[in-house]
Structure formats: C-alpha cells, structure tokens
Amino acid sequence: MHGTGPWQQARRACQNFRLRTWIIDDLGPDPADPDWDPDVLAADTLAELSLDPAEAHALAQRWRELPHDRIGELRRQKNLTAHLATLVHHVRPGRVRDTLVRWTEVRRHLP
C-alpha cells in the first residue's frame, strides 16, 4: 500500500510514469488521451521533480557531503527520471524536451 511519505509518493509516481512510458513506446501515443500523451507525461514528470537539472547536478557533484535527507532527495530525482531516456523520443521538440534531455544527462551523476 502506498503511504503519504516522500518515498511512497515517489514510488507511486515512478510506477505511473514507467507504465505510461511503456504504453506510449509499445502501443504508440494518443494525444486525445492525456494518460498516453507524451507531452502531458513530460509535464507531469517535470512537475513531480523538486529540483531543476542544474541544481541536481550541482548537488550530485558533492553528494557524499550532503545530509541523508538531501541524498534521499537526489535518489528520488534519479528514480523519477528513469523513464526519460525512452520518453524523450516521443516528446515534441521545444523547451520541455530540452529539459528532459538535460535530466537524462544529469541522471548519470546522481547517487
């Protein structure tokens, strides 16, 4: 069962994002249905993230020095962006897609 803590909320969001990405990638996007619209999923993902890519990258450079709660936040950001390498290919070019690409690059540096 999902709780209301940050880890439980992140796990629920991750599962939602991964399922939606899988459907979009395997069955194709459906812009008429927001659940299967890649641009809506991209926006939902970015709304769930508590950091921007530059901030996450800066923190990742010194993550071993951070308090446990900040390390946990970086881990949640990494988990919440696991689907982006696949999703980015379905998102229309523009600012949102550029942000997703930055997240895929930053993700490699997160703990």
**Would you mind telling me the total number of residues written for the chain in this entry?**
111
Query: What's the predicted TM-score (pTM) here?
Result: 0.93
pLDDT band at 1 (very low <50, low <70, confident <90, very high): low
Domains of the chain: which residue ranges?
Answer: 29-107
Q: What is the DSSP letter of 29?
A: -
Pair of tokens at residue 68: 């446990």
Helices (DSSP H) in 28-94: which residue ranges?
38-48, 53-60, 68-80, 84-87
Q: What region does 30 belong to: left with phi over 0, alpha with psi -120 to 50, or beta?
A: beta
Rounded Cα distance between 7 and 13, Å, is 10
Tens digits of residue pLDDT in 38-77: 999 999 999 999 999 999 999 999 999 999 999 999 999 9
